[in-house]
Chains A and B, each alone.
Chain A
Amino acid sequence: MKISMQEARDRIPQRDIILETTVRLMVPFIQLYGLYVIVHGHYSPGGGFQGGVVLGASVILLALAFGLPASKEYLTEGTDIIMANVGALIFTGIAALCALLGGMFLDYSVLTKILPIDPISWRSHGIFLVEVGVGMGVMTIMVSIYWDMASAGRLDEGL
């Protein structure tokens, strides 16, 4: 049945099942990819920042497909703020701990004074810990920047 432009425009529904179903099938894989980028930060391209961006993008994708309130059910505002602070705390905490123990800022090899394993493996594990912190911070801050900008600070409807 042939219809006109105006008719088609009027019949576009509020909920878009195509977008919703596709996003639903994609989001877990995107999140796992973000975690993979964080974990493999010191062997392949990527690291805390890039993985955090991918993780944040998955929540932004949810907000785009299901609306902003649904994404706030998935990641509540309180959790978001707590995770952002904990992430920043992990990063600065480890860095300052290194400085307090007598090394340079972010010099992980002095951490052997806390847990005696050899300095070289402390370097790789220390980088990993710092990257987890950076990833958490970047993810949550990206999501909250998106929330604020998409809804002009009101955090209600969004795009």
Chain B
Amino acid sequence: MNWIVTFLLVGGVFFLAIGTIGLLRLPDFYSRLHAAGKCDTLGVTLLMTAIALYNLHAPSFGSVLVSWKIFAIVFFIFMASPTATHAMTKAAMLVGVEPWQKKKGTRK
């Protein structure tokens, strides 16, 4: 059991790290959103699943409810994170942030 939890924790931190490196390295706003939107959601999901599982290792009625609450946060993040990404993309489009493009002579 502890091994599964440790594995999930390490995976979650790995994906959070990838998201952060992507946030720093990628060239423009839109591609940064890719790193922020996907890797962060997955990392948070893995970490929260690990915490919920660890919380169950001394099962009682209260701890089961707390685990369900953690899963409620996960559901919420699954709904909220793409919506926030979408809102940011739309705002950037309307404000006029130019995307990075491959230089092939014709650059708009």
- Please give the residue numbers on chain A whose beta carbons come within 8 Å of chain B beta carbons, in ascending order: 4-5, 8-9, 12, 16, 18-19, 22, 25-26, 29
Contacts and interface: CB of A to CB of B under 8 A. Distances in A.
Contacts of A19: 83, 86-87
A5 B76 CA distance: 32
A25 B93 CA distance: 26
Contacts of B99: 5
A56 B62 CA distance: 29
Tell me if A's interface is mostly helix, strand, loop or mixed. Answer: helix
Interface of B: 76, 79-80, 83, 86-87, 90, 93-94, 96, 98-99, 108
B98 A5 contact: yes
A18 B93 contact: no
Contacts, number: 27
A12 B86 contact: no
B93 A9 contact: yes
B87 to A, nearest CB: 6
Contacts of A12: 90, 93-94
A25 B79 CA distance: 9
B79 A22 contact: yes
A19 B87 CA distance: 8
Contact of B93 (A8, A16, A22): A8
Contacts of B93: 5, 8-9, 12
A5 B94 CA distance: 10
Given A12-B94, A25-B79, A26-B79, 10 more contacts: A5-B98, A5-B99, A9-B94, A12-B90, A12-B93, A16-B87, A16-B90, A18-B86, A22-B79, A29-B76
